[in-house]
Amino acid sequence: MFSRNRQSQGLGLPTATGGPPSSRTFFAAKSNDGSARSIHLQNPIVQQWNRSSRERKITYIAMVTCFLSMIFGWRWLMYYNAYLRVDCNSTDCFIKFASPGRYKKINLEIPRSQLGASAAVKVSPTGEIKEDKVNLNEEWRNIQKTSSGKKKKNTAINSYRGPDANGNFLTYAIIFKDKSGFVNQKNTQDDEVKAEKLSDLESNEKDLSALVGTFGDRLENGDIRVPMRQFGVTQTHRRVRNMTSKLDSYIAKRRQKLSIRESAPANWQAILMVVLGLVGFLLSILIGLFWDEN
C-alpha cells in the first residue's frame, strides 16, 4: 500500500480515494452543479442595487449625502451656539447661559434681591475683564490710518463695536449677590431676616457658584460678576449705555420687568451646510429617479 502511494505521489496523482479529484481540492472553484454547496446567497438590497440604473444610483447617493449634510450642519450649529439671557419679573430672575460645546448650559432661578448691580467694563477679545472702572461718557473712537496716510474715523461713537487703542472692547457686566452679601447689607435688620430667606439664599448661592470660571469671576466681597460680552457676542456703545440704565432701574425697583438677551453670531459654514443640504434633499425627491421602468 505504501509503495503504491509513493508511486502515485511521484506521478502527481491524488493519494486519497473516493470521489472525484475536484471535490477533494481545497482551493477548487465552485461549480454550479445544483448542489447546496454551489448555492451562493446574496443580499436582496445588494441585488437591487446592482440591477439599478445609473440615474437611480445617483438619486439615492445625492439624497443620502444631502440628508447627512443637514444633520452635521445642524449639529455644528448647535455645538457652537452661545447665549447669555436674563429674564426678570417682579419677584424672580431666570438665568439661561450657554457656552460653545457640549453640556455647558446653565439654567437658574434666583430671587430678585440677588441681582446686585451693573457695571461698565472693558474686556479682551476672549472675554477677560481688563478694566472694571469705565466712564460711559468718555468719547473714544478707533482712529485708523488709511493707505494714503490720512486719519479716518471708523464710525460714530454710539454705533461702534470695535476695540479701543489697547485692543479692549466695551461691554457691561451683571453683579450677582451671594448669601453673605445679602445678609450684611446696612439697610437689612437682622431681626427681620427669616430662616426661609436664608435657606433660599444658600441654595441659590450654591447654584450661582457654577457661573464662576466659564461665565464670570468672583469678586473680593464674594459677589459674582458676569461680563455680557463673551463667545463672540458684541455690543455697541449705545447698547451698553441702555442696558446699564435698565439694570440700574430694575435694581432700584423703578421697573418691574427686565429682559437681557445676548447671542453669539451663528456659524455661517454650518448655516450653509444646512441650506445646501435641504435644497439638495428636496431636489432629489422632486426630480430624482427612485425606480426603474423595467
- Within 10 Å of residue 175's Cβ, how many Cβ atoms? 20
**Domain for residue 2, yes or no?**
no
The answer to whether residue 13 sits within a structural domain is: no
3-state secondary structure of 124: coil
Closest CA to 158 of 179, 172, 140, 173: 140
CA dist., res. 73 & res. 257, Å (int): 36
In a domain, 274, yes or no: yes
Please indicate, yes or no, whether residues 95 and 215 belong to a single structural domain of this protein: yes
Q: Does residue 39 carry a pLDDT above 50?
A: yes
pLDDT tens per residue, range 86-96: 898 888 888 88
15 is a domain residue: no
Do 132 and 63 share a structural domain?
Answer: no
Kindly give the interhelix angle for 54-79 and 268-287, rounded to the nearest 10 degrees.
150
Residue 39: inside a domain = no
Let me know if residue 230 belongs to a domain: yes
pLDDT at residue 148 is higher than 50: no
Under a CB-based contact definition with an 8 Å cutoff, are residues 110 and 226 in contact?
no
Same domain? For 62 and 174 the reply is no
Q: Which range among 24-28, 62-66, 148-152 has the greatest average pLDDT?
A: 62-66
d(CA 151, CA 147): 10
pLDDT band of residue 199 (cuts 50, 70, 90) is: low
CA 18 vs CA 1, 21, 22: distances in Å: 16, 9, 11
- pLDDT at residue 132 is higher than 90: no
Judgement on whether residues 282 and 258 belong to the same structural domain of the protein? no
Confirm whether 38 is domain-assigned. Answer: no
Q: Total domain count for the chain?
A: 2
Percentage of the chain lying above the pLDDT 70 cut: 64
Same structural domain, 118 and 259: yes
Residues 241 and 279 in one domain: no
Q: Cα–Cα distances in Å, from 217 out to 33, 175, 212, 213?
A: 81, 10, 5, 6
Contacts by 266-269, CB closer than 8 A, 24 or more apart: 266/77, 266/81, 267/76, 267/77, 267/80, 269/76
The DSSP symbol for 148 reads T
Q: Given a cut of 50, is residue 57 above it in pLDDT?
A: yes
Q: What is the pLDDT of residues 77-123, one digit of tens each?
A: 888 888 888 898 888 888 888 888 776 788 888 888 888 888 888 88
How confident is residue 277, by pLDDT bands cut at 50, 70 and 90? very high
Expressed as residue numbers, the domain containing 275 is: 51-78+270-293
Does 172 lie in the same domain as 249? yes
Q: Is residue 231 assigned to a domain? A: yes
Answer yes or no: do 55 and 110 share one domain. no
In tens, the pLDDT along 214-264 reads: 788 888 888 888 888 878 777 778 888 888 889 989 988 888 898 988 888
Same domain, 218 and 140: yes
113 and 170, same structural domain?
A: yes
By CB neighbour count within 10 A (0-12 exposed, 13-18 middle, 19+ buried), where does 19 fall? exposed
Does pLDDT of 191 surpass 60? Answer: no
- For cell 447654584, what's the residue? 207
Q: Are residues 134 and 275 in the same domain?
A: no
What are the helix (H) ranges across the chain? 2-11, 21-24, 44-51, 54-79, 179-183, 195-208, 237-251, 268-287
- Same domain for 117 and 220? yes
